[in-house]
Structure 1
Amino acid sequence: MTHVIGLTGGIGSGKSTIARMFAELGVPVYYADDAGREVMASAAMLAELKAAFGSEIVENETVNRKKLADIVFSDKRKLQMLNDLVHPRVKIHFQEWLSQHALADFVLREAAILFESGSYKDCKKIITVTAPVATRIQRVMERDGVAKEHVTARMENQWTDERKMALSDYVIVNDDLGSTREQVVKIFKTLKKL
C-alpha cells in the first residue's frame, strides 16, 4: 500500500522547494495548488466561481487569481466558500493521481492548507516546513510582486506554524539550503522504512 505523506507550511515557507528535493530523490509529488488551478479551469467550475464571486474574476475563460485572492483573503466567509467549491474536486483529482502511483512506497501531498482543508486526516505522516516570518514575507513579496500587507493578510488566513507543528511528525526548518537538504534526506530515509 502506498503511504500518503502530507507536506505543508505557511505561505513563503518553501514547501515547493522541499517538495522538489523529495522529487529529486524519486518521490512522486502531488501539488495541491497546481491541482486546484487545473480544477478551477473547467467550464463547470468557472461558472460556479462567477456565480459565487462575480464575473469580474474570470477573464478570457481563465480565473484572475489576483482578483479572486483580493476578494477571499479579505473575507473569511468568502474564503470558506471558495474552499467548499474547490476542495471536494481536488480530493477526487488526488485519488485519481494516487491510483497512478500505486507502486510507490510513499507519495507526498504538498498543500498549503493541508490542516485547514482536513486533508491531513488521509496522511500517514505529516511534514511541516517552517522559516522565519520575515524571510517568508520577503520571499512572497519577491515571488508574487505584492506588498507586505497582501502577504500578511494571506498569512492571517492560515494556521500558525506552532499549531501545524503540534500535529506534525516532522518539521523542516527552511532557512539554509544545505541544512534543509540534510533534513530532507534524513526524513526520506526514515519514510523509506514505513
Structure 2
Amino acid sequence: MIVLGLTGSIGMGKSTVAAMFVEEGVPVFDADAAVHQLQGAGGALVAAIETAFPDTTGAQGVNRTALGEAVLGDPDALARLEAIVHPAVADERESFLATHYDAPLVVLDVPLLFEAGGWRDVDKIAVVSAPPDVQRSRVLARPGMTPGRFEAILARQLPDAEKRARADFVLPTGGTLEETRAAVRALIACLYDPAGG
C-alpha cells in the first residue's frame, strides 16, 4: 500500500481534488470530515471541548464559530484544542488504514499535514496549489469569511511555496476542473506504476 498525503492551504481546492481521487476508486480519509463527526451532535469530543472551552457547544455539537473565536490568535488555547482533537483523529485514521489494508493506494486528506507533523506518516505527498488571487477569491466567497479571518488562517499555515517545495507532487487547481482531473489521473497512474513512473 502507498499512503499518499494530500494537503494544501485554505482555498486551494483540496476537497475537490480529494473527491476526484474517490471518483477514481481510491479510498480517501478526510481528516476534516472526521473532526466534524467527532465534534458533531453526540460526537465523542463534544464533552471534552465544552469542558476546555465553556459555551462553545450545544445540541448540535461544537459551535465551530464560537470555538474558532476562542482559539484563533491564542497559541495556548489552540494547543489545548489540538491535544483533544489530534489523538482522536489519529485513531480514526488508523481505523481507516486497517479497513483498507489491501488497497494499493490510499489518500490521507489532511489540511495541516506539514504543520501537525502528519507528513512523517505518509509515503508520498501531493500538494494542491492555485495562484494567490484564485485562492483569495475562493476563500472570501465562503459564508462568514472576512479578510482578517482569512489572514489569521493563512498565518497558521505553512506558505504555499514551502508546501510545494516539500511535496513529491504538485496538483495545479487554478485551471479547469478537467485539467485538475487529468493531473489526478496522471498521479494515480504514476503511483500504480511498479517501476515508480
Superposition TM-score, scaled by structure 1 size: 0.92
**Is the CA contact (8 Å cut-off) linking 2:140 and 2:150 kept in structure 1?**
yes
**Is the CA contact (8 Å cut-off) linking 1:76 and 1:157 kept in structure 2?**
no
Tell me the matched-pair count.
Answer: 192
The residue that corresponds to 1:18 in the other structure is: 17
Deviation, structure 1 residue 86: 0.5
Secondary structure at the counterpart of residue 153 of structure 1: helix
1:37-186 equivalent positions in 2, closer than 5 A: 37-41=36-40, 45-54=45-54, 56-60=55-59, 62-176=61-175, 177-186=177-186
Secondary structure at the counterpart of residue 81 of structure 2: helix
* Percent pairwise identity: 35
The answer for unaligned runs of 5 or more in structure 2 is none
Deviation, structure 1 residue 44: 5.3
Deviation, structure 1 residue 178: 2.7
State the Cα RMSD in Å: 1.6
Q: Which runs of 4+ in 1 moved over 6 A?
A: none
Residue type of the partner of 1:182? A
Task: Give, in whole Å, the separation in 2 of the partners of 1:108 and 1:43.
Answer: 24
Task: Give, in whole Å, the separation in 1 of the partners of 2:135 and 2:186.
Answer: 24
Task: Give, in whole Å, the separation in 2 of the partners of 1:107 and 1:128.
Answer: 15
Task: Give, in whole Å, the separation in 1 of the partners of 2:143 and 2:7.
Answer: 19
The residue that corresponds to 1:190 in the other structure is: 190
The answer for unaligned runs of 5 or more in structure 1 is none
The residue that corresponds to 2:29 in the other structure is: 30
Task: Give, in whole Å, the separation in 2 of the partners of 1:22 and 1:163.
Answer: 24
Question: CA 1:186 to 1:11, structure 2 compared with 1: closer, same or farther past 3 Å?
Answer: same
Superposition TM-score, scaled by structure 2 size: 0.91
